[in-house]
């Protein structure tokens, strides 16, 4: 099976169904409240940018100087973007509009919420779970994020821990001194949402395992764990990410690895996901492509966006995902839309985008001077694969089309490739 078929089939099918439903309802391309004016002189763009945030534009809360230079090139004399830009991040511990406001302040460029894709944004497509009682894991405004995605009945880790205080036993300071009465009035949990890395990993790992092994009723327990287990939707597969520290930090992919390993060790079976999203999922890139198209329509740019340039710092997520999506687009042009899983719908019309070009920067996870870099080294051994377990490892997909020092050089490269001049 081609690599794009490993994790993308179900997600791509959902995206197509969602897009068809929005088209039928007349929602695609509907203008936002913000009005745009078309800048003079420059011909309409036929390309757009998918920009990673951490390690490309910022390091922690500090903007990377090259990002400011890049956005001076990307904006016209009226302070408007000259080409469509979408920010695609695997972070998910903030609200979409809050991330847009943060980027606006850092970059000196007005960023709309509908230009920002968080790792869990495509969970909006999983409507069959929106009415179910879901346990949510993560940090920050997890309830608001879950509700914004369409989930109407969520319970947090803290709420579950308070309902069943005997479950959380690692921290001696939090152990009860007396044994509470058992509860029989707690509605069963019907699924698990993993939005991002939590703060207390040991508590979240324990409680998620309790929910899975008890089929949603952790106060009772079962003699035999059910399998298949309750549905799990997860976002952000990054094993590592780059902040202000000199070395990469653990990402949500590390938390998923812990959960998968514990479940396998306890049950002898493999933990399964109903949906995995965030880069490098094809679903995330399809979602981004649609936002690029809508942005171009709002600006009055009539020429279709044929080429996407994806700029990132992580070969395992940013580069792998962009190349995977490029492979998908090429196959769609050559053979028609690929079959999207058993019984899945087929794409009725080909995508306007024909290619997705990957550009790797050296300001984040990837550092060519670091022997621990995740990029394959010429003439040396292949480094360990940091991608998720369910990804089909293909070394070629981790090789960027271009490697540059920073995002400013990436923008200059693209403008040269497209025959555009800096203003």
Averaged over successive runs of 10 residues, the pLDDT of the chain (423 residues) comes to 47 55 50 40 88 94 96 94 96 93 94 96 94 97 97 97 90 75 84 96 97 93 89 94 86 97 97 95 92 94 95 94 95 71 34 92 86 46 82 88 98 96 67
Give the model's pLDDT for residue 376: 45
Give the model's pLDDT for residue 340: 44
Handedness of CA 23, 25, 28, 29 (dihedral sign): positive
Using DSSP's 3-state secondary structure scheme, residue 357 falls into strand
Q: What is the DSSP string of 225-275?
A: --SS-S-EEEE---SEE--SSSS-EE-HHHHHHHHHHHHHHHHSS----SE
How far apart are alpha carbons 288 and 278 in whole angstroms? 11
What is each CA distance from 114 to 12, 273, 275, in whole angstroms? 20, 27, 22
If you ran DSSP here, which 8-state letter would residue 277 be given? E
Helices 9-24 and 282-299: crossing angle in degrees, nearest 10, is: 30
Give the model's pLDDT for residue 377: 42
User: By C-alpha distance, which of 146, 68, 159 is closest to 107?
Assistant: 68
Give the model's pLDDT for residue 30: 41
Q: What is the pLDDT of residues 296-336, one digit of tens each?
A: 999 999 999 999 999 999 998 999 999 999 999 998 888 86
Q: What is the DSSP string of 314-338?
A: -IIIIIHHHHHHHHHHHHHHHHSSP
How far apart are alpha carbons 36 and 277 in whole angstroms? 31
């Amino acid at each position: 099976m081609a690599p794009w078929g490993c994790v993308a089939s179900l997600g791509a099918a959902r995206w197509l169904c969602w897009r068809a439903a929005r088209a039928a309802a007349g929602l695609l391309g509907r203008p936002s409240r913000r009005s745009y004016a078309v800048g003079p002189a420059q011909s309409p763009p036929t390309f757009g940018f998918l920009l990673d945030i951490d390690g490309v534009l910022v390091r922690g809360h500090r903007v990377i100087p090259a990002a400011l230079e890049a956005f001076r090139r990307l904006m016209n004399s009226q302070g408007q973007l000259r080409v469509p830009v979408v920010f695609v991040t695997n972070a998910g511990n903030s609200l979409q509009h809050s991330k847009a406001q943060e980027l606006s302040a850092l970059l000196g460029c007005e960023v709309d919420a509908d230009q920002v894709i968080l790792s869990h944004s495509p969970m909006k497509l999983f409507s069959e779970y929106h009415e179910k009682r879901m346990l949510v894991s993560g940090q920050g405004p997890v309830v608001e994020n879950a509700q914004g995605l369409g989930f109407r009945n969520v319970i947090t880790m803290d709420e579950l821990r308070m309902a069943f205080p005997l479950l959380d036993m690692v921290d001696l300071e939090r152990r009860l001194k007396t044994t509470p009465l058992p509860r029989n009035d707690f509605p069963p949990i019907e699924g698990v949402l993993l939005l991002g890395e939590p703060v207390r990993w040991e508590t979240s790992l324990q409680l998620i395992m309790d929910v899975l092994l008890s089929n949603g009723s952790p106060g009772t327990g079962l003699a035999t764990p059910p399998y298949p287990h309750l549905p799990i939707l997860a976002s952000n597969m990054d094993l590592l990410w780059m902040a202000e520290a000199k070395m990469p930090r653990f990402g949500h992919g590390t938390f998923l690895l812990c959960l998968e390993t514990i479940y396998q060790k306890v049950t002898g079976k493999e933990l399964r996901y109903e949906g995995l999203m965030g880069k490098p999922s094809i679903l995330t890139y399809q979602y981004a492509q649609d936002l690029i198209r809508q942005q171009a329509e709002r600006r009055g740019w009539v020429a279709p966006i044929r080429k996407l340039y994806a700029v990132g710092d992580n070969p395992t997520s940013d580069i792998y995902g962009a190349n995977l999506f490029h492979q998908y687009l090429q196959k769609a042009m050559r053979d028609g839309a690929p079959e999207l899983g058993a019984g899945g719908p087929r794409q009725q019309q080909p995508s306007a985008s024909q290619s997705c070009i990957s550009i790797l920067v050296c300001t984040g996870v990837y550092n060519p001077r670091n022997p621990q870099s995740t990029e394959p080294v010429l003439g040396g051994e292949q480094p360990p694969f940091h991608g998720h377990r369910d990804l089909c490892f293909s070394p070629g997909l981790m090789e960027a089309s271009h490697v540059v020092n920073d995002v400013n050089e990436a923008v200059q490269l693209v403008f040269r490739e497209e025959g555009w001049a800096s203003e």
